[in-house]
Copies of this chain bind each other. A is one copy, B any other.
């Protein structure tokens, strides 16, 4: 399965723009996505918007109900747990695969990202939890890309896009957040040491830690 070529058409631009809008949280989960509204917002007609919506629906980001339009997907606690099981099954394996492929400059880049996350994530006047989101996406994204495994990466993508309902780090308690940031640093250490099993183990712990936080938050959100 070959990756679709770079976006030049309006549809691909619409897909990317809309996905970014949703992942950034401009639309709350469950929000209605009117075709006309999106079309004017993106500056195109309804046609490419419709195709973008079908595509994002296939990715699981939006739900499409016939004759009733599109909404940003909501995730029940059960579905969220399922998504984390999927991540547990795939992401540690991808991490292990990435280790032997990482060149020194890749390790440096990961290191830079992990340390930067510790900086902006540590309590104090410099703390900026919102800045963690893009850094986190980039860290995991680079690690996955290093594995050079399109099939596993593609299957994982739908899983990491999923928990956007809780797309911020504000739900982390301080202990879990410190732990999460330390995991990143430790993963870099494992990659630098060339130890796939070490990296795999830490990534597993990392995901299970995130799972605990997210599931607790989702439960509170469902039963306030």
Contact = CB atoms under 8 A, between A and B. Distances in A.
A188 interface: no
B90 A4 contact: no
Contacts of A4: 57, 63-65
**Chain copies in complex:** 2
Contact of A93 (B59, B89, B156): B89
Contact of A55 (B5, B55, B79, B150): B55
Contacts of A122: none
A159 B149 contact: no
Contacts of A205: none
Interface stretch (A80-88, A125-133, A215-223): A80-88
A2 B54 contact: no
Interface residues of A, number: 42
Interface string A146-185: 0001111011101100100000000000000000000000
B159 A151 contact: yes
A150 B76 CA distance: 12
Contact of A155 (B55, B64, B159): B159
A51 B51 CA distance: 6
B149 A73 contact: no
A59 B9 CA distance: 20
A139 interface: no
Contacts of A89: 89-90, 93, 152
Contacts of A86: 90, 151-152, 155
Which of A4, A5, A93, A155 is most buried by chain B, counting CB atoms within 10 A of its CB? Answer: A155
5 closest A-B pairs by beta carbon, nearest first, are A58-B58, A82-B151, A155-B155, A1-B60, A9-B66
